[in-house]
Amino acid sequence: MKAVLSKEVGGPEALVIEDAPMPECGKGQVLVEVKACGVNFPDSLIIQDLYQFKPPRPFSPGGEIAGFVKEVGEGVSHVKPGDRVLASIGNGGMAEYAVAAQHSVMPIPDDMPFEEAAAFMMTYGTSYYALKDRADPKPGEKLLVLGAAGGVGIAAVELGKAMGLEVIAACSTQEKVDFCLSKGADKGLVYARELDRDGQKAFSNDIKEVSGGGVDIIYDAVGGAYAEPAVRAMNWEGRFLVIGFPAGIPKLPLNLTLLKSCDVRGVFWGAAVARDPEAHKQNVADLFKLYSEGKVRPHVSNTYPLEKSADAIRELMDRKAQGKVVVVID
């Protein structure tokens, strides 16, 4: 089979596409013929050895796949060969075939395109867990989404609206803000690509102005210099959700949490799934219901063939994506 491989530490330019052995399907596993692979920020980290998990090389990036079941291992009964499925696999998805643990494999609706299925679970799963299970949202509260035009960000915008929140989308360009407004955000604001101290003060003031005084929930998928000014614009007993750090890992002055009586809450969706699979199962059922009702729908902004997987990861690293980027395998 053809596979995109990371054989040495480096950026997307270090990836190669080669023939690789067909993965073997063991007990409790499912072999999937991959038709689409979602591209996520961890893909850019794992090939640089910057992610929490470092698989042995050579390995294929790509942790989110959709396709047909090719084979099932001993003990697998909820899917069978020929079924249309999605799966979260950590890595190995940018290949013609991939193996997934049975608990991560889920049948998808017949009318759900593979590109949307491969762009669904990691972004909506993360954002639903963040907002439903970590944010304690109350209808009418104000939600600020940093990096709102990205994959998890736009999912948070849609889910926030579905939960009855007032959603404020913060992005690096007006084009991205307009995209978020078209997806249901109530308001938006543009932040600078780089923030010095004066820029941070201006950003905090902008948040207060557009929100009418402050926000209750902050969904931070950016990090860096944007976290502190966002917290400074938080309402009393607000909740700050730690999602990711494409702009760097922030350092928050903890006196702000005292002054605001606010919480900083980590969001590690993958670990939460492993620790409480039953809760994850219910969240997945909720998400598919929202999808069937048309309240959420992955926005696939760009697709790449397998041999252009490096370009797909590069688009994400350069923060050019609006929604999700997907590698499509014919």
Q: Is the pLDDT of residue 96 over 90?
A: yes
| pLDDT value, residue 205 | 98
Going 233 to 211 to 265 to 173, the CA torsion angle's sign is negative
Where does 2-120+298-328 sit in CATH, by number?
3.90.180.10
| pLDDT value, residue 274 | 86
The whole model's pTM is what?
Answer: 0.87
What does the block give as tokens for 295? 């309240």
Residues contacting 254, CB < 8 A, separation 6+: none
Helix (H, G, I), strand (E, B) or coil at 222: coil
**CATH 3.40.50.720 segments of the chain:** 123-270
**CATH 3.90.180.10 segments of the chain:** 2-120+298-328
CA separation (Å) from 242 to 186, 220, 250?
A: 22, 6, 10
CA 162, CA 121: separation in Å to the nearest integer?
17
Which candidate, 72, 99, 104, 73, places its Cα nearest to that of 88? Answer: 104
Read off the pLDDT of residues 23-33 as tens digits, 9 standing for 90 and up: 999 999 999 99
What is the CB-side half-sphere exposure of residue 27 using CA atoms within 13 A?
A: 1
Cis omega (within 30 of 0) on the bond before 58? yes
Percentage of the chain lying above the pLDDT 90 cut? 91
What does the block give as tokens for 196? 């010095």
CA 330, CA 325: separation in Å to the nearest integer?
16
Read off the pLDDT of residues 188-237 as tens digits, 9 standing for 90 and up: 999 999 999 999 999 999 999 999 999 999 999 999 999 999 999 999 99
| pLDDT value, residue 228 | 98
Q: For the residues 86-102, what does the mean pLDDT come to?
A: 96
Q: Could you say which of 3.40.47.10, 3.40.50.300, 3.40.50.720, 3.40.50.1980 is the CATH number of the domain covering 123-270? A: 3.40.50.720
Give strand pairing partners of 71. Answer: 31
